[in-house]
Amino acid sequence: MGFDFKKDPFDNFLELYKLAQAKGVPDANAMALATVGKENQPSVRIVFYKGMMNGGFSFYTNYDGRKARDIEHNPKVSVNFFWPNLDQQIRIEGEAIKLNRKDSEKYFSTRSRLSQIGAWASQQSAELESLAVCEKKLEIIEQKYKSETVPCPPHWGGYAIKPSEIEFWFGKSGRLHERYIYRISQAGWDKSLRWP
């Protein structure tokens, strides 16, 4: 595989991520995000990595939804990229920090119009009476912005996950996997291996 443990972990991540894209990994930017809410109940879901921002791994969401409420309560999160056809995982632990409004608006402007309308219409994670109610709300928002650019909602935006630990996992035969660990410290990144 040729993993270079001397490199900065962000450089290693970007190199492996580009390779996963080049090899045609479906949704290579999909990452499982785990949060913990007020009841100390873990919750995990897939979100999409949208690039390095402010020294962290960015994603975007509705700030009124469950994941954002969890992050408000406890900003410590974990994400995992899993590329099974390459037998690779990248696991990241860290803290989710809100991106500034300008960065959120900039990314929002690149989304498809339907996704923009959906960001206004959705009361993410709230109970939905029926699909018809959702469709009606979409129609109302579509009419409202019929001849206009859809602005970024105030309740929508991004986070950057600033890592405290990054693990690069490479599957090997006999389950003798290679695990390369980077942990942040005062001096930079401490490096170690972990047993399979």
Which residues have CB under 8 Å from 56's CB, separation 6+? 94, 97, 159, 160, 161, 162, 163
Q: How far apart are CA 89 and CA 20, in angstroms?
A: 11
Q: How far apart are CA 16 and CA 21, in angstroms?
A: 9
Tell me if 20 sits within 8 A of 88, measured CB to CB: yes
Which residues have CB under 8 Å from 68's CB, separation 6+? 61, 62
Amino acid at 159: Y
What tokens appear for 124 in the block? Answer: 């993410």
Give catalytic residue positions.
Answer: 175
Tell me if 20 sits within 8 A of 28, measured CB to CB: yes
DSSP characters over 86-131: GTEEEEEEEEEEEPPHHHHHHHHTTS-HHHHHHHHH--TTS--S-H
